Structure 1
Amino acid sequence: MAPTEGANASSTSNTTPNDLKSPGTPPAAETPKTLPPPETKESLRLRQWVIASFWAVVLCLGLPMWWKTTAIYRADLPLQHMTDWAEGKICKPVFPLRIAVEAPFQLPDAHNLIRTTQHALDDLNEFSAHHLRLILADIPVARNASQQMVTDGMGISSNDRDIALLLRLIPVETGTTPRSMLQTYATRLDIYYAAHQIPSSSSTGSPLATFIAEELHSIFAEEQALLAYQLSTNVGALTPKMKAPSPEKVAELERQSTRALKYAPTYHLTFSLFSPTSVPSAWEIESALQQYLAPLLESFSFISNFTVDTQVQLYAGFSPSIRQPEYDDNLKAWTLRREDLSGFINAAEWPLSPSIGVGPTVNFVLYVPDQLQSPLLIKENGGNSWLVPQWGGVLILNPPTSGKNTPTVLTKDALAPAMHAFSDQLMSLLGFPQTPNSLPLRLATLERVRAASLLFSASSTLGALARLTKALPSIPIPDTVAKSVDLTIAHLQQSCDSLRDGRFQGALEHARTAEVEAEKAFFERSMVGQVYFPDEHKVAVYLPLLGPVAVPLVMSLLKEIKSVVR
């Protein structure tokens, strides 16, 4: 039977050209793939030279330039020496005070009195770093009015700057003996004695020597406590032979230190007159400062410098955060509560900027209340002045009563009580010691305490800089820092040597210079800026630049190495 038409069509459509060939014809050969010609040795060598040249440029030119342009310069610092200063291993401060003794009797008896008094002093002293040394002084004898004093060659001059105290023995025939009198405005202690109280050259002790030793120990007791406190708060400064102050004394000294301002070479004093009304509108502050405060500031000049300005602010109301004054029938006055004194200063409206001047600003506020609220006192103690720790002082000057109006101008005499109060407040803010009752001796004590505190502060700053340098190897150390560190160490050593020799003014000057140089080194601008640019930021900057360049170079190098290995 014949196939259908559809079947024939399907059979015809599936026929290939090979099927149409005769059975005896062989199949045609496939066309071979075209391969590139083999690389010549010259082209291989050229490609290797190109890759090598790129790597040579990177290694010999790029990396050195990158290393040179991005390297952090770090000047050499004596890190271990700086750490030793901070730990108190190099300088053990001592304070030998020389006391000149003027004894108007025979030389053997004078030497014996000094020897027995020195033994009594050593027995009383429990702080070996602060040592009182008695030295026989020359007794000046005037030739005439036109010539200076001459000495008889017995000892040292009693007007030597390094003499801490002059002790004068004065014979008397009446009154209780022995007795003493410390001069208020001179570094002199007068001891009055009877003739029979002079110890003989063969005696080993006497009531006069014991009395003198106890008086000297009492005069310098607070200074010893202050210096012991300074040494006890610094690592390595207090040796086992030095007795630390008692806990009660430490608590008292801590209260004084928190009240006082931090040391500064320059302080700026601002005296402000505030009134809630239009009077007083003027005050004779310049003449009052010249008469009452200038001598005190002049005596402080070897420790710190001072700048002064004044201002008057009228219609200065109370701060809204405190309660208004209340009338007290017992005191017959308007009163402020003690808890409101901290908010008495109206910082929002009163122009008391803390950044005026070169150094820290010390504010002294004289407030004259309204006649309707006068007199204005503190309720708890009836006083009219108070100290604001580490800020300044306030005094309320009540206008005259008995029907008189508030004066429009405060005269120099009217400002005298305020100036005396401000002087006392300034001394407290500067860390002025409270004893003895001699202004020059208290200034000398402050000089020695400041020298010790600045020495410890500069040493601590050196230690902090050494720790910072070790902890952050990425920060730069410019040559200016190294120079400041060298100057700091040199002045610290000179300050320590001056303390050991009893030259306290020189010790303070060197310690001040060391403190300035140490702060200058620690707060170098280039170092501080680099602290806030860590290594993670550097990686984030370099990766987008180096990635596209490094990948082709590395892959081509690996390919060439693989071809050579084969």
Structure 2
Amino acid sequence: MKDNLWVRERRNVVLAFWATVLLGIPCWYLTTQVSRATLPLIPTFEAIRPAIPVALQGISSFSTHKLVTGLNLLQDVHKFVNVTPSALAYTIDWSEGSDFSTLIEPGTRNWKIASTRVQSQNLEESIMAYTLKVFEDERQRLSTILDKNKNPDLRVVKYNPSYEIVLSIMHGDNENPVQFDNIQQHLEKRFLPILKEVAPMANFSLESQSQFHADLTFSPEYDDTSNSFVLQSTDLKNFINSAEWNLASAQSDSKPLNFVVYVPEPRYSPLVIHNQGQPVPTNSFVLPQFGTVLIYNPKTEHDQSTLLVPENDIEQIMEICSRHFLTLLGMPSIPGALGEASIWRVDGLIRQRLVETILSAQETLLSIPKIVDQIPNMHVPAHVATRIEDALLDLGQARYFMNLGRSREALHHSRLAIGKAEQAFFDEKMVSLLYFPDEHKYGVYMPLFGPLLLPLLMAGVRELKLFLQKKKKLSGE
């Protein structure tokens, strides 16, 4: 009797454990389920063709519509649109003159053409040919952005919401270094007018610093012919001493653009950069995606007297740095455009960044559903779906203004779109599961539940066998 009671109690204990496990499975399933918000449907995006608004004045026989139609047939990157003359339109103003001439008015989008009546008969072909020439460099750059198979200009920095321009004076001679007086004021005087023009594409900040003990990682070779130390093109990639030169940016969120002015120590002066055996006139070079390096060789008479760098030399350094800055941004060249940051060139740069940001936003938005589908247990918060919806709205606004030729407004919305798309893509609750596949889950559960389930399983099998044996014995009797 006691044996039967003990067997019954043991069996009840095993059943109680198994009941707890079986009842806990639904609770475990419900508590470990992840919420997955329904993502908005990503549409099929149309091809990107930034519009250029064109207007004609002073020509009755040649309509703007005819010009626009001809230009759109000749190239397929830009989309020329017919508009009435305005401050935003590229207005071609014809007037009668003795000789054929063209003039881009500084600070405007007006393009004046003068010709005789006889010459005006062939004016259609002349305007179309010259218009294509004006936008040719921009067309090639846009074509490279749109076609992934083409090799991009590696010097041009990728889009970033903010950039920090850092001017670093690196002194090789720490005993008698030359002095760059009021370097921050010179930097602002040269760069602020340019930054005002390119402000629509990103946020910019300026910083200057001086460092000493800036040793090179190699010894330049002396050239008897030029009586100078020579840097060959093969030496340039190793010029920056990253291990010892502190070029870190103070703003972690900003992309640094480094403009390094290196002053060699006297034993290596003058230090001259050579390209294919010839000295580089500016004695500087551009490092792709990094910035630029300029070597300044102090004049001996200044070294012996005041050690102060002349203002003319500082202004020349700032001029070279500003030109390299425009190269790093990808500023297109315009025949006849006046100034480093003329309105025509800035318009071209804005259209380039517009296309780049729209493409990047589209690719990011298309990637989110793919990743969510690949990882079924990924948590998709509701605010991620909201950000995607907002990004799609801004992307639609960007395309709307782009098709009207209002590139600055379009770029504003495309920057908002890419920012919201990246916030959705890199959401911390989603990114945490990108590196936590199912194999990791099994690695956590097995050591935890294995030692618990194995005794329960063995006890359950044992009780089942005893129950079947007892039942068989009773049926045999």
- Same fold by TM-score greater than 0.5: yes
Distance 2:52 2:70 in 1: 16
Task: After TM superposition, give the deviation of residue 480 of structure 1 in Å.
Answer: 3.0
Distance 2:4 2:231 in 1: 103
Contact preservation (8 Å) 1:271, 1:309? yes
Task: After TM superposition, give the deviation of residue 296 of structure 1 in Å.
Answer: 0.8
Matching of residues 16-55 of structure 1 within 5 Å: 36=1
1:121 corresponds in structure 2 to 71
Distance 1:387 1:188 in 2: 33
Task: After TM superposition, give the deviation of residue 305 of structure 1 in Å.
Answer: 0.9
Asked if residue 276 in structure 1 is aligned to residue 180 in structure 2, the reply is: no
1:443–1:171 distance in 2 versus 1, CA, 3 Å: same
2:394 corresponds in structure 1 to 491
1:527–1:543 distance in 2 versus 1, CA, 3 Å: farther
Distance 2:346 2:111 in 1: 16
Distance 2:454 2:2 in 1: 34
Distance 2:65 2:377 in 1: 61
Structure 2 residue corresponding to 1:135, chosen from 83, 86, 104: 83
Partner SS state of residue 465, structure 1: helix
1:296 corresponds in structure 2 to 194
Asked if residue 542 in structure 1 is aligned to residue 449 in structure 2, the reply is: yes
Distance 2:272 2:201 in 1: 35
Task: After TM superposition, give the deviation of residue 196 of structure 1 in Å.
Answer: 5.2
Matching of residues 44-83 of structure 1 within 5 Å: 57-60=20-23, 62-78=24-40, 81-82=41-42
Matching of residues 385-400 of structure 1 within 5 Å: 385-400=284-299
Task: After TM superposition, give the deviation of residue 422 of structure 1 in Å.
Answer: 0.7
Amino acid at match of 1:66: W
1:445–1:406 distance in 2 versus 1, CA, 3 Å: farther
Distance 1:355 1:562 in 2: 79
Distance 2:431 2:70 in 1: 55
Task: After TM superposition, give the deviation of residue 462 of structure 1 in Å.
Answer: 2.4
Task: After TM superposition, give the deviation of residue 358 of structure 1 in Å.
Answer: 2.5
Task: After TM superposition, give the deviation of residue 520 of structure 1 in Å.
Answer: 1.7
Asked if residue 472 in structure 1 is aligned to residue 378 in structure 2, the reply is: no
Amino acid at match of 2:104: L
Matching of residues 347-496 of structure 1 within 5 Å: 347-353=242-248, 356-371=251-266, 373-379=268-274, 380-383=277-280, 384-401=283-300, 405=304, 407-438=306-337, 439-496=342-399
TM-score by length of 2: 0.85
Partner SS state of residue 200, structure 2: coil
Partner SS state of residue 113, structure 2: strand
Amino acid at match of 2:388: V
Amino acid at match of 2:451: P
1:403–1:72 distance in 2 versus 1, CA, 3 Å: closer
Asked if residue 192 in structure 1 is aligned to residue 114 in structure 2, the reply is: yes
Contact preservation (8 Å) 1:399, 1:407? no
Task: After TM superposition, give the deviation of residue 215 of structure 1 in Å.
Answer: 1.2
Structure 1 vs Structure 2 CA RMSD: 3.2
Distance 1:386 1:37 in 2: 97
Distance 1:119 1:371 in 2: 63
- Structure 1 stretches of 5 or more lacking a match? 1-35, 104-108, 138-157, 199-205, 235-249
Percent identity of equivalent pairs: 26
Partner SS state of residue 505, structure 1: helix
Asked if residue 313 in structure 1 is aligned to residue 228 in structure 2, the reply is: no
Distance 1:231 1:209 in 2: 29
2:94 corresponds in structure 1 to 169
Distance 1:119 1:378 in 2: 49
1:514–1:118 distance in 2 versus 1, CA, 3 Å: closer
Q: Deviations over 1:162-189 (max 9, x none)?
A: x2x22222333x3x22x21224543221
- Structure 2 stretches of 5 or more lacking a match? none
Contact preservation (8 Å) 2:216, 2:241? yes
Contact preservation (8 Å) 2:103, 2:336? no
Q: State which structure, 1 or 2, has the greater radius of gyration over its C-alpha atoms.
A: 1
Partner SS state of residue 253, structure 2: coil
Amino acid at match of 1:117: L
Distance 1:73 1:547 in 2: 32
Distance 2:37 2:191 in 1: 48
Asked if residue 513 in structure 1 is aligned to residue 416 in structure 2, the reply is: yes
Contact preservation (8 Å) 1:326, 1:335? yes
Distance 2:185 2:137 in 1: 35
1:231 corresponds in structure 2 to 146
Distance 1:344 1:38 in 2: 89
